[in-house]
Amino acid sequence: MMRRIWAVAEVVLRGWLRRKEAYVYIVLLAGLQLAVASLGGAAGGGSSLYLFDAGLLLTWFFGWAVALHAGAAELPGEEAHGTVFLLLAKPLSRAELIVGKWLGAWLAVTLCTLAFYAVTLIVAYSAGVAPPLGALIQAGVLHLISLAVLIALSLALSTRLNRDAAVAVAIVAALALYLIVPRIPQLACETHGWRVGALNVLYYGLPHLELFDLRRRVLHGFGPLPGGVLATLAAYGAVWTGALLMAAWLSYRRRRFQRDRLLE
């Protein structure tokens, strides 16, 4: 089973490496960081920590953008090209196909994100910032776990939506999860009755992406997380990834494909 999953993942990874899109993203990220650095004259006498902050934020943003696209592009791509019939004709279950696609997309996005971190670190070091490496490595690991959750989310959406719709819904969902879900306790102050209960359910029932964001610890010198907390967060991310992949499989396992309709 693992061999079949890995075979699918390898195809995804190779296809991604062949398209060489990552270079473009890296150049764009470096360009943005240089644009921010060009305002450095305004900092006159200040430290360059702001530049590292902007770099980390851009790395987060680019990582998420690439992950949401990568997750949403795979299954609709196979359907659009008609190659889904070749895949399903092989001794490959739909669960293996889903997990293989997820794994391949995650590995591709991981390589891309590590390159983003490398660019950010080079810019930071050249500006005289010495990031705390322990906390930064933890931040990178948790970032990759959040990307695993997001890829699973967009993959699950792409089992029922076309690629563009899946990307759009996934972006809105990811932003809501990151910006609104952590504020549910504050929002609940403004309401009464059953709505408070409903907000409680949402608070526990939706993934908390902000838990994977360690930028404050890195930038403001709070040091690395205790090992137990890191393991808890990794398990939390793994549970959500598993749940979303399960949802993707449930949605995809009985889906029928008609060649003439797909290739229209």
Partner 1 sequence: MSARLIPGLSLLVLLTAAFVLACHLTVSDAAARADGDDAGMAERLLGGSRLLAGELCFDQADLYLHRGMPHVERAAFTNRWLQRLAAQVSPPVVVHREGVEGLRDVLPWVSLAARFAPTNADFVLTRAYLLERTGNQAAAFDVLRHARIEQPQDPALSFEEARMHMRLGHWSQAASLLELSERLTGPQPASPEWVDLLAEVCFLKSLLQEQAGAIGPAAASLARAATLKPEWYESFTNRVADLRAGRPPERPVKALLDSYRLSAQTNPLCHHDDDGD
Contact window for partner 1 (CB under 8 A) among 88-96, 104-112, 113-121, 240-248: 104-112
Binder of partner 1 out of 210, 238, 250, 253 (CB under 8 A): 210
Give me the least distance between CB of 241 and partner 1, in Å please: 17
Q: Least CB distance from residue 177 to partner 1, whole Å?
A: 13
Distance, CA of 14 to CA of 108 (rounded, Å): 9
Judged by CB under 8 A, which stretch of 113-121, 218-226, 244-252, 255-263 contacts partner 1? Answer: 218-226
CA distance 232 to 238: 10
Interface of this chain with partner 1, residues 170 to 209, rule: CB under 8 A = 182, 185-186, 188-189, 196, 199-200, 203-204, 208
Note whether 213 binds partner 1 by CB under 8 A: yes
**Using CA atoms, how far apart are residues 140 and 128, in angstroms rounded to an integer?**
21
Cβ proximity to partner 1, 81 vs 259, nearer residue: 81
**Contact status, residue 149 vs residue 208, Cβ threshold 8 Å:** no
Q: Does 105 bind partner 1 (CB under 8 A)?
A: yes
**Candidate residues 1, 2, 14, 47; the one interacting with partner 1 per rule CB under 8 A:** 47
- Using CB under 8 A as the binding criterion, the count of chain residues that bind partner 1 stands at 62
- What angle is formed at CA 100 by the lines to CA 163 and CA 162, rounded to 5 degrees? 10
Kindly list the residues in this chain that would bind partner 1 in the complex (CB under 8 A): 16, 19, 21, 24-25, 28, 31-32, 35-36, 38-40, 42-51, 62, 65-66, 69-70, 72-73, 105, 108-109, 163, 167, 182, 185-186, 188-189, 196, 199-200, 203-204, 208, 210-211, 213-214, 216-217, 219-222, 225-226, 229, 232-233, 236
